[in-house]
Structure 1
Amino acid sequence: MKHLTIIVLLYLFATAGYAADLTCHWPTNQILNSIVPIESGENSHASGVVVSSNLVITAAHVLEDYYNTAVEINNAMYLASVLLVDKESDIALLSVSTENLYPIPLSKNDLYESQEVWAAGYPRAQSLHTSSGNFVSKKAEAIHTSAGIDSGESGGGLLSCEQGEFVLAGMLRGYGAYRTDQGLVRLEDYSISVAASDIRFTLDLSKLSHNEF
């Protein structure tokens, strides 16, 4: 009986350690460096996500000038080529040198109730902002979460944790708001994102997807 007890305790410690390794606490610099600032035209500042070598996704609605869209990679601005714009899904694909930045893999799973998520982007052309929240619902193929964002973070990354690794659960599209007599009021802790499944579908349509997606 004593030997059995020791074996059971060792198993419990081993499985507890394994479970701990499958949790995510905060996005690493490697992940956050792959969320990049974007400028389009003279007045549009937004965010993007590196999803493959030399391929960045962003929100279609932020592209003010298709021929004058630049992406900041490792503190340098590079002119990007607009490969595809899908206004219905609000996804745009940009070709630009991503140098050594890590492509964030797309999630292959749906978010579950209250799952923790992280939203990362560049609000109002300022430094990177990251917030945490939880999955709320999926309505009309859009992901609703309690991770707050601001203007300029559209096109940024909605991150989740799968098997201890950060993945791209979606692309930030906009913040939640409610209407008053004075106009729209932004909700501090609410954001809406395009789902990873829609991103993958767009990549497939563009014939730019690879097995790792």
Structure 2
Amino acid sequence: MATWWTTVDGRVLPKPLAGHPGLELCNTWAGWGEAHDDRHEYLRDYTYLPVLAASLGIMSDERSNALQRKAARHPDEAHGVLEETRSLRTDLYAALTGRATGAAFGRVADAAASGRSRQVLVRSDEGASWAHPTRPTLGEPLDLFVLAATEVLTSDRVAAVRACPGAGCGWLFLGSGKRRWCQMAVCGNRAKQASYAARSRE
């Protein structure tokens, strides 16, 4: 059965449908543009953030596990990062959909610059890559998601970013062809059913 979610390490997370990890953080909230409802929140506590990052391949399992242990030792700091992530997620969504105010875009730009300042260029099998050189900090997953999002913002892929029009959704994805929905089998079918029901009432 088609669903919006998947289970990773016992945590319910959004199914990776965006086509780029830079968009997936925005999809940890469902119901963009609608009344706030905590049922739409996937980031239930801080540990969901490093688990999501590792599941998408932008953080190693080792660093993710270390951060989950660190969050248990420093719960207040971890909660602060979680709140910062939720707030910046709104700005990222606005920037990726071309709706950001100057202030919102500025916050994204500041977060990207700050995140990059904590990385160094290291050799890799492909040549070189940016990496956090020290022991993982609680803010590292947010850095990684912001920097991944800026990869989209600074490329021609930003023109392909689409928001699913499904009720209670709004998830982002890189569109191609005639793709309109995050999942035709879920949001698309729900819309078809709603349209059919409305016509039947008429």
TM-score band w.r.t. shorter chain? under 0.3
TM-score normalised per structure 2: 0.25
TM-score normalised per structure 1: 0.24
- Bigger share in strand: 1
- Bigger share in helix: 2
Q: Which has the higher contact order (CA 8 A, sep 6+)?
A: 2
Larger radius of gyration between Structure 1 and Structure 2: 1
